[in-house]
């Protein structure tokens, strides 16, 4: 069996972290950063979008649609799109930390 290339190793890391992130979101887990206090993964998801123009614009669009009373389907669709952006940004952060040798774990709220 040949060793993985850097690209293959990174793709595998992203897949693994994305699966962990998915479970942590569904199970309402906390992310334990190598710095600071544990944070609910849902809060980390939102925090990952701060300062990113595309994510902030998507969130603003979502809030405006809800405030205008648009249909649940419309607001839900916008929420799903925002969540995809936020999740990608959070995943990027998790990958960067892991690549830098930092330990990031998910756990219960204690």
pLDDT by residue for the chain (110 residues), tens only, comes to: 888 888 999 999 999 999 999 999 999 999 999 988 899 999 999 999 999 999 999 999 999 999 999 999 999 999 999 999 999 999 999 999 999 999 999 998 76
Q: What is the pTM of this model?
A: 0.87
Q: Where in the chain are the domains?
A: 6-107
Q: What would the DSSP string read from start to end of the chain?
A: -PPPPHHHHHHHHHHHHHHHHHHHHHTTPEEE-SSS--EEHHHHHHHTTTT-HHHHHHHHHHHHHHHTT--HHHHHHHHHHHHHHHHHHHHHHHHHHHHTT---EEE---
């Amino acid at each position: 069996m040949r060793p993985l290339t850097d690209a293959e190793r990174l793709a595998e890391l992203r897949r693994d972290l994305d699966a962990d992130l998915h479970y942590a979101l569904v199970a309402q887990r906390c992310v334990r950063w190598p710095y600071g206090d544990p944070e609910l993964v849902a809060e980390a998801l939102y925090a990952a979008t701060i300062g990113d123009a595309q994510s902030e614009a998507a969130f603003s669009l979502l809030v405006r649609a809800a405030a205008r009373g648009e249909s649940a389907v419309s607001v839900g669709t916008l929420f799903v799109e925002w969540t995809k952006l936020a999740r990608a940004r959070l995943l990027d952060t998790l990958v960067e930390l892991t690549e830098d040798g930092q330990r990031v774990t998910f756990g219960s709220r204690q």
